[in-house]
Structure 1
Amino acid sequence: MYECVALHVSPDLGERIMLSGDRSLLDEVFPETNQAMMDARSGVAWNQQDVHHVIRFPLNGYCKLNSVQVITRLLNAGFKLAASNGGGVEGQQFSEYLFIRKILPG
């Protein structure tokens, strides 16, 4: 089994970084976002699916990390880059990355 984190980066107003994945996993790698991810407001788009996952959490709205620092942190936490893609049109480009980490038995 694997743990997965999806990273979405777009150049909106500097750099917009969004993460999707298990809440506890993101809290482990980015502890400075703990309080924001625990926010139970139902109107927050990234918080609507279920209590265990966040979808497109706006990371750099809560801490001052750039995409290279986010990728480095994921790699240092034992994740590997499994896939990436990008696209868009002028002024609306994006890159997406899928990081995976094997769950150790025990």
Structure 2
Amino acid sequence: VAIARALILEPSILLLDEPTSALDASVQAEVLNLLEEIRRRRKLTFLMVSHDLAIITHMCERLMVMQNGEAVENLAASDLVKRHVTKDYTRNLLRASDGFVRTA
């Protein structure tokens, strides 16, 4: 409902703060696919906050890793997937998420 309200104003940028955090996996996938379709059709830019690296790499072209409110690293999502990172904090973040399996 909140996303629909925001889209009524026909913005060029949509701010998304953990847009699927409270959803189960199947509903989450539907929402992400819908957001991607809306972005393509309306030529929107998304600014997304998420702790879910899978969502970030699926939805984003570029990302910024934050630590304590400060930017640590700015990189392409493809670099994150390939683990081409330069900062220790980002490496530790990737290591901490290794083997994480989401339960429905």
TM-score normalised per structure 2? 0.25
Structure whose residues are more often helix by fraction: 2
TM-score normalised per structure 1? 0.25
